[in-house]
Structure 1
Amino acid sequence: MTPINATTAVVPQERRLVTEIPGPRSAALAARREAAVARGVTSVVPVFAARAGGGVVVDVDGNSLIDLGSGIAVTTVGASNLQVAAAVAEQAALFTHTCFMISPYESYVAVAERLNELTPGDHDKRTVLFNSGAEAVENAIKIARATTGRNAVVAFDHAYHGRTNLTMALTAKSLPYKHSFGPFAPEVYRMPASYPFRDGGMDGAQAARRAIELMDKQVGAEAIAAVVIEPIQGEGGFIVPAPGFLTVLADWCRAHGVVFIADEVQSGFARTGTWFACEHENVVPDLITMAKGIAGGMPLSAVTGRAELMDSVHEGGLGGTYGGNPVACVAALAAIDEMTTLDLPAQARRIEDTVKSALWAVAEKLADQDRGVIGDIRGRGAMIAVELVRPGTDEPAPALARAVAAHALSRGVIVLTCGTFGNVLRLLPPLVITEDLLVEALDVLADALMSCSPR
């Protein structure tokens, strides 16, 4: 793995602990937070950031933590990338907002041009920009409904698509995302996904046919506007569908006039070793939704798709006050340039090799000691998951996942959890992390797994 470019991080790239976690300043800020911030907003780690960049987050107490979370796959090029920061500063000095629907500006058009070029397929495309992943998903469905004249939308088990009313309906997991927030948008139908670790050997084509049979029986192809799916499911547990699953689904959609929407909010922008995860299966979606890693930490999202679909919506039917904000647009252009210059898709593939090699070594050690808690290691690029189970079973072990993440944090490494059952460790390092820093973080994670696993 090649070192990152020196221009991508100005924060010292080291793990350093000077206090317990959390330190006194973070604890004081936590008390202020409790009195000021709604309790419904939670945080994964109990430390307050002061600086971040490259592969580290430095807290207000001076602790430098290795970041294996990237703000949930957002800071792909680092949290203080110099090229992104310079573009943001220059644009902010010119103007921060006019509203593209009032007085348009070139950077919005330039982002649309880049996304039309980067996304899969060589067909004629159009793009529209928004603020969040949920907005992108909602608008993709609006486009699909306007195009087809149909209402029904199909989503899948273990899916996560956002926290707005419609995207909560699409999201599978109740707590914490949906509980007590209903009723939800109607005409959303959930189908079984491909989950190789829990599918009993079912291959991708079989899993797709299972879902298609249920769609035909329960909804009817003639009623379905869109099928929306994450090519690698994110919050559901970084589930990589079995080969053929996405292809068969996409082919069925094409045959029946159903819009195939790839939700690449978490998996896009070099994260999985290609620009977009659906490229691993050679799937060309009709519409693709993007956010997170698109703009180096600035809020921006997009829908890109076939021109005939995108242009089917009446004038004024798409947009929003802040959608495609000029500061976010120049950040996106700088971030995409950095991803290209540094060849971050290749960097993601090298990260995958390093991470999986280290994790399988830990799995073998635990199995040799009859502590086989690692049920599955999966993912692509720098989107890797470890599914933890009770030894000798496939029964989820969510308490163990929480314990391992807490142990790693106490040693200065940020590790996130996810999964329908809460038993998955997810690794999302910035793609600009150095080899030495990544290996050090994996050593800490290995120690956490060995120390926390039941004997």
Structure 2
Amino acid sequence: MSANADLQMRRVAAVPRGVSNATPAFAARAENAEIWDAEGRRYVDFAAGIAVLNVGHRHPKVIEAAKRQLDAFTHTAFQVMAYEPYIALAERLNALAPFSAPAQTIFFTTGGEAVENAVKIARRVTGRSAVIAFTGAFHGRSLMATALTGKTAPYKTGYGPLPAEVFHLPFPGAASGVSVAESLRALEFLFMADVEPARVAAIIIEPVQGEGGFHVAPTELLVALRAICDRHGILLIADEVQTGFARTGKLFAIEHSGVEPDILAVAKALGGGFPLSGVIARRDILDAIDPGGLGGTYGGSPVSCAAALAVLDIIEEEKLCARASAVGEKLSARIASFSGRNDLLPVSAPRGLGAMVAFDIFSARGEDTPDGAMAKTVTNRAFERGLVLLTCGTFGNTLRILVPLTASDEIVDEGLDLLEAALTVEEASA
């Protein structure tokens, strides 16, 4: 029996199927944008741990920083005895955050935890209870984050009553057929029919929807939401869990719009592979929380904070925001060349920001009927050829590319060659 097959048998027996696996192989080692499985087979990584590894697997500076911290101490709990890496990282993020007023940062462990706390903070500060999110959104799998997520299966189905006073607006875009004006009109109807503005604590939005299919929030929408929030005393939360830390060509994706949020939820790429998340907000917002009202035993692990400081250094020193834009142009140009080719499956034009790029698989040429089954077939065929690639989107027909920003042009081109081969009509139907 192969090493991967043996590990799969052990996995099935020991780990519930509720946590799914995108690939049938098991990682043994990784470097930058490459992974080797338990049998020594090499893969080009176009997933980056779901946008976690913007600086690549095991960046030397991240590993060095983590090792230094490991030699000092691994845990005290910040609430018990504080430590400098937490404070230093908060200082760096406060200076970098897109706020015109002074900012503060608190750290947690997961993206879902950051979102939960962002909502908790908004409720406490405003004294209100309702939250508005968008269809197609993904904010996590904890109970409030699940309620905010704008997709039922598999996230909400069968989990019983979810937290109350969470409302959803249609996310505008070509895929949904909803205009910005229609989305804003739906908000007006919501205010008239279900929840008065004075009861709304926050509106939460991803500047680019992640699991929803890499749909970019129109600047027109973000500008309008900012004005509405200002008018009604509502806080605007930007969920930057997947979009943050240079992925879109800016440190934070919301910066593309010029709109200033009140609260940022961050995670994923911040820790460079170590578990870390946070909430960054204006100081006047976070200062309203009483001592003990926020925290968590492992929140802001000293090892993760040390790694994150290295991540911020790498983004600056290696100019990864500019690199993301260059990689995104390369990806988009190649994907655009796929459309119209009779030897390849029917695909959409590329979309996204920076190196957060995706495209759709359709069931027939000249139509826009989503084909989720074929998209999964393509990812399987790509994997067999040595490419790790993920699907997303409401119908599962979107292929998303999240290659590490530190990947060489040669690796990016190799991955695109493997993707193109997996898209061939004969290959995908084999």
TM-score band, normalised by the shorter chain?
over 0.9
Selected match of 1:180 from 158, 175, 181: 158
The 5-angstrom pairing of residues 85-164 of structure 1 reads 85-164=63-142
- In 1, the alpha carbon distance for the partners of 2:72 and 2:330 equals 43
Residue of structure 1 in register with 2:246 after alignment: 270
Within 1, Cα distance between the matches of 2:150 and 2:241?
16
Q: 1:317 aligns with which of 290, 293, 299?
A: 293
Matched residues in 2 for 1:453 and 1:58: separation? 24
CA contact (8 A) 2:335 2:349 kept: no
Aligned residue-pair number: 427
In the TM superposition, residue 397 of structure 1 has moved relative to its aligned partner by: 0.6
Within the candidate set 33, 45, 50, 2:11 is matched to 33
DSSP 3-state at the match of 1:145? helix
2: CA distance, partners of 1:434 / 1:37? 36
Residue 9 of structure 1 is matched in structure 2 by none
Q: Which residue of 2 aligns with 1:408?
A: 382
1:68 counterpart = 2:46: yes
For 2:202, the aligned partner's letter is A
User: How far has the Cα of 1:82 moved from its partner?
Assistant: 0.9
What aligned pairs does 1:39-438 form with structure 2 within 5 A after superposition? 39-199=17-177, 202=179, 204=180, 206-217=181-192, 218-366=194-342, 373-391=346-364, 392-438=366-412
How many Å apart are 1:178 and its aligned residue?
1.9
- The residue identity in structure 2 corresponding to 1:346 is A
Describe the shift of the 1:372–1:249 C-alpha distance in structure 2 as closer, same or farther (beyond 3 A).
farther
Distance, in Å, in 2 between the alignment partners of 1:396 and 1:80 is 37
Q: CA RMSD in A?
A: 1.6
Q: Return the offset for 1:85.
A: 0.7
Distance 2:218 2:305 in 1: 35
Answer yes or no: is the 8 Å Cα contact 1:373–1:453 preserved in 2: no
SS across alignment from 2:339? helix
Q: What's the CA shift for 1:317?
A: 0.2
Identity of aligned residues (%): 43
Give the Cα–Cα distance (whole angstroms) in 2 for the partners of residues 453 and 389 of structure 1. Answer: 13
Task: Supply the AA of the counterpart residue of 1:390.
Answer: S
Q: Distance in 2 between matches of 1:72 and 1:382?
A: 13
**Match in the other structure for 1:20:** none
**In the aligned structure 1, how far is the partner of 2:349 from the partner of 2:201?**
35
Q: CA contact under 8 A between 1:147 and 1:309: conserved in structure 2?
A: yes
Provide structure 1 residue ranges, at least 5 long, that are not aligned to the other structure.
Answer: 1-22
> Contact 1:161/1:170 (CA < 8 Å) preserved in 2?
yes
Deviation of the 1:375 alpha carbon: 2.8
1:443 equivalenced with 2:421 (yes/no):
no
Q: Which digits, 9 at most, give the CA deviation of each residue in 1:109-159, with x for residues without a partner?
A: 111111111111231111110000111111111111111111000011001
Q: Secondary structure at the match of 2:43?
A: strand
Equivalent pair of 2:77/2:298 in contact (CA under 8 Å): yes
Give 1:239 deviation, angstroms. 0.9
Q: TM-score, normalised by structure 2?
A: 0.96
Residue pair 1:232, 1:239 contacting (<8 A) in 2 also: yes
Q: Deviations over 1:390-447 (max 9, x none)?
A: 2232221101100111111111001100111111001000000110110111011112
CA contact (8 A) 2:97 2:103 kept: no
Shift of 1:379: 0.5
Return 5+ residue gaps in structure 2 as ranges.
Answer: none
- How many Å separate the matches in 2 of 1:403 and 1:241? 29
Structure 1 letter corresponding to 2:295: G
Contact 1:55 1:78 in 2 (8 A): yes
In 2: Cα distance, 1:376 partner to 1:171 partner: 26
Q: Where do residues 7-18 of structure 1 align in structure 2 (5 Å cutoff)?
A: none
Secondary structure at the counterpart of residue 83 of structure 1: helix
Q: What letter is aligned with 1:356? A: S
Tell me the SS of whatever aligns to 2:359.
Answer: strand
d(CA) in 2 for partners of 1:207, 1:347 = 36
Contact 2:345–2:423 under 8 Å retained in 1? no
Matched letter for residue 228 of structure 1: I
Partner residue in 2 for 1:3: none
Matched-pair contact (CA < 8 Å) for 1:227–1:261:
yes
Runs of 4+, deviation exceeding 6 Å: none
